[in-house]
Structure 1
């Protein structure tokens, strides 16, 4: 058993389990990429190992290509773009495969998180709309970004054959040691296949975490609405009773109900906070790695799009630029939404009917507000906070490196 995970939570998901999961689209996409077994078998493990070997082969091929084209800034930056992109997917698979049980547990905890407030969502159309809207948003985001990635392949893969058919160029790293003469067709196919799997895997992991963050933020938003509406029942019940004795009894009963509901909200809040910590632990290393690779990819892609004299290279880079930028934005946007919804808990607590509530209700509410005032910030590698401000700073860092490359190129 993996340390810190119950045995049942770390068990693999079956194909049927994935079909009933909120993360169905993300899990089955990662299954296609060879990372998430449904269920595990020696054939699937061989499939995943084959994809990993292709990634290692690409790293060796890219290093050799860099050695033979060293000094040609235009050629080097093209190799760097493909190397950073494919290496990111390969490294994510290296991180993913030994830690599969953490991802199984993450998927199961998402299901528990969704069921935690399901009865309130089924009883309140407003809460149901929040939850269903988050699921639609997550599905559309996943399908949209996967479509964006698939749209790159018709631009990158056939471009060498269309633009320079007589030069027998490869789509990514060129074989400078033999001028692409040996095994040209095989090398062309291998590069296209590898790039497809590496980019799909890289985006699949990012979209998995983005989906989880969207659903978590929705659960926090549902909680804030529940806390803010604690005043409703008390006002209605008090208006129904006219006698002072009955009003006194109703007030006690109402205080008990409000306190019980508040305790439920506090318990749900604590579960969400614990889940966010688990999410950060699972996501942290992947996020910081994505930040590093995206900064480098944006830098060299901007350079190639600005200084290249080859129109096909400019077109490919211009089409590709939104991909690494979007991968950073996924993490920063999702984490920022969780932080915002966590901060809204304090305002929701202040908005409820605390003024005429019982002393124990006020004490419990103060505890909730004090905890909610502590910022809930997701970090990359427990060092770099993820937020919209962090996204801007990362993009600025990419531009700074791009400007440095431009100065080196003009010398």
Structure 2
């Protein structure tokens, strides 16, 4: 083939390789040690320090709520990084399947469907990366530049380490600021590239379902002797060709099903943490709106809630699209000229319909179905938790 489906993930995997969670086939010993040190210091240890910091926080509800908002975010980034490390074989198998023979095509229309999915994947990456890098720059680098030029007091980009005594705060200011800056930047890059990687593999799955839909509607086009009498040699050849084509479609559907099962296995933990922490983040943001703060902080909270809502809604939306496209397979098979075909062809057709009657779904943690219904449930849960907190606060 003159194209590769997985080349749309080249930039994702390159950045994840730099961040130490996606090594090459035979990584050097130096890369192995450096990547492990980087992930431990700026991902695992980062979360541990943040967790310990809660014990030393001032007993003020608004401060505790603010810290929880970012805490759920870094927990999500940690789960994504560790998933790519420990489930690397599943991700690699998923990419290998995209380059397997069953997912390749020489038909210009089918190639166009795949190219469209690849373009959509890169479009979402560019949008997400652009917004995330801009926000991270404004949050991390801009305050440091303003501090250097105008001698404005430097505030930490994530949280103040309350366990550091005030007399040592000036000594640890710049090292702690650098550590938090690298940590939050790496977490932002994990979120951007892994989230858009999930969308990309889902786009390619939907493209394969569109290709299968197209093949099924034209599966009997191989029959050239339409008016051949039953029992003739020409009719037998047409029936044999039609059977071979429907068997190819069954194998294609099986491959798409296995591929989507791999997506579920690889992203199950990530989706579980994403949905669980997403509900908590939206709840804490809503609760923080009820507490006093500066106007700038309310603007930040508004934007943050919008971003967190989209982070949950977008995969749920395309999860629903995947279910919808897989459900349409049962209608596509009856769009071909199947009535005059032989009994063997109809038996294979019936087998495909029975398998396609159960739509392809993706679940997170074997609990959350990737669909708009789940998104609605998450938003309802977030609001329910918010009302519970408000009730407890008013007592």
Query: Are positions 1:146 and 2:125 aligned together?
Result: no
Deviations 1:238-263 (A, max 9, x none): 37xxxx67995433322222111111
Residue 200 of structure 2: aligned partner: 211
CA distance in structure 2 between the aligned counterparts of 1:24 and 1:138, rounded to whole angstroms: 11
Residue 38 of structure 2: aligned partner: 50
CA distance in structure 1 between the aligned counterparts of 2:246 and 2:374, rounded to whole angstroms: 35
CA distance in structure 2 between the aligned counterparts of 1:384 and 1:245, rounded to whole angstroms: 54
1:26/1:208 contact within 8 Å kept = yes
2:9/2:197 contact within 8 Å kept = yes
2:209/2:326 contact within 8 Å kept = yes
1:155/1:316 contact within 8 Å kept = no
* Match for residue 91 of structure 1 among 67, 70, 79: 79
CA distance in structure 1 between the aligned counterparts of 2:304 and 2:28, rounded to whole angstroms: 35
Residue 322 of structure 2: aligned partner: 338
Residue 41 of structure 1: aligned partner: 28
Matches within 5 A, 1:3-402: 21-39=7-25, 40-45=27-32, 46-112=34-100, 115-119=101-105, 122-123=106-107, 125-157=108-140, 168-177=154-163, 178-179=165-166, 180-234=169-223, 237-238=225-226, 248-305=232-289, 307-402=291-386
1:85/1:199 contact within 8 Å kept = no
Comparing 166-175 with 374-383, greater Cα deviation is found at: 166-175
SS at match of 1:211: helix
Change (3 A) 1:308 1:136: farther
1:335/1:377 contact within 8 Å kept = yes
Deviations 1:321-369 (A, max 9, x none): 3333233234323332222221111000111111111111111101110
CA distance in structure 2 between the aligned counterparts of 1:368 and 1:68, rounded to whole angstroms: 61
CA distance in structure 1 between the aligned counterparts of 2:62 and 2:327, rounded to whole angstroms: 47
Deviations 1:33-80 (A, max 9, x none): 221013522332213422322223333432343233343122112211
Q: CA deviation at 1:130?
A: 1.6
Normalising to structure 1: TM-score of the pair? Answer: 0.84
1:227/1:262 contact within 8 Å kept = yes
2:6/2:99 contact within 8 Å kept = no
CA distance in structure 2 between the aligned counterparts of 1:360 and 1:69, rounded to whole angstroms: 72
1:35/1:96 contact within 8 Å kept = yes
1:158/1:171 contact within 8 Å kept = no
CA distance in structure 1 between the aligned counterparts of 2:216 and 2:301, rounded to whole angstroms: 49
CA distance in structure 2 between the aligned counterparts of 1:27 and 1:270, rounded to whole angstroms: 27
Structure 1: tracts of 5 or more residues without a match: 1-17
Structure 2: tracts of 5 or more residues without a match: none
2:65/2:288 contact within 8 Å kept = yes
1:55/1:87 contact within 8 Å kept = no
Q: What do you get for the CA RMSD once the two structures are aligned? A: 2.8
CA distance in structure 1 between the aligned counterparts of 2:244 and 2:80, rounded to whole angstroms: 44
